[in-house]
A and B are shown apart, each in its own frame.
Chain A
Amino acid sequence: DTAVSQTPKYLVTQMGNDKSIKCEQNLGHDTMYWYKQDSKKFLKIMFSYNNKELIINETVPNRFSPKSPDKAHLNLHINSLELGDSAVYFCASSQDLARDGELFFGEGSRLTVL
């Protein structure tokens, strides 16, 4: 049973379109994250939610909007897609905001913008 699952795994779309990536965790964790991994494999945090409350919002364009309907789900909606948005997006969770907590990652969603 997958702990952190994301859909879709692959997403190919045209510039200017809007797309969403969904994430669900069945670990009972309080905290969820979105990370972006670019072509150079650099993994950068975008957002973090704790019990549905936004905790971390890095310098990310307004076109990216996370939504957490409950603490087991964190979705990412992207408006007006640009070429530079092409990357692998990883959802992750941790038990809580404890700074020594390990992160559990999903398998990633590869977004390609043409």
Chain B
Amino acid sequence: SQKIEQNSEALNIQEGKTATLTCNYTNYSPAYLQWYRQDPGRGPVFLLLIRENEKEKRKERLKVTFDTTLKQSLFHITASQPADSATYLCALGGSGTYKYIFGTGTRLKVLA
């Protein structure tokens, strides 16, 4: 069955460093991959979308890569700040379906 794995452990990094979060998937061929941010007690908020034919996407301090051979996406936050502390979810969408399947998320904590 389809499976999406994100770092199950929380990720602690020092302010100013680059945070790298991973999203691995199996038994799936997504055409689209999205990243969302979720703060405690809030709904997920869209950050970036990358298509299967795109290797990399950037938005301000955020960068997403998508490797369909490795079945992996990496999400980078450069010059991280304590305000970046949140849970980050990846979501995969196939070309033949209207629904996105979400990973369980990685909790990021940026230490001041």
Residues of A within 8 A of B (CB): 4, 35, 40-45, 48, 55-56, 58, 90, 92, 97, 99-100, 102-108
Interface centre among A44, A100, A106 (most CB of B within 10 A): A100
Give the interface size class of chain B.
20 to 34
Interface centre among A40, A43, A104 (most CB of B within 10 A): A43
A-B contact pairs, 6 of them (CB 8 A): A45-B100, A45-B101, A99-B94, A100-B51, A104-B46, A107-B42
Are A43 and B44 neighbours in the complex by a CB distance under 8 Å? yes
Distance in Å from the Cβ of B35 to the closest Cβ of chain A?
10
Residue on A nearest B50 in the bound complex, by CB: A100
Further 5 A-B residue pairs, CB within 8 A, beyond A99-B95, A99-B97, A102-B46 = A45-B101, A48-B98, A55-B98, A100-B32, A108-B41
Q: A99-B98, A108-B41 are in contact. Are A40 and B104 (CB under 8 A)?
A: yes
Are A105 and B44 neighbours in the complex by a CB distance under 8 Å? yes
Q: A40-B104, A104-B46, A105-B43 are in contact. Are A56 and B34 (CB under 8 A)?
A: no
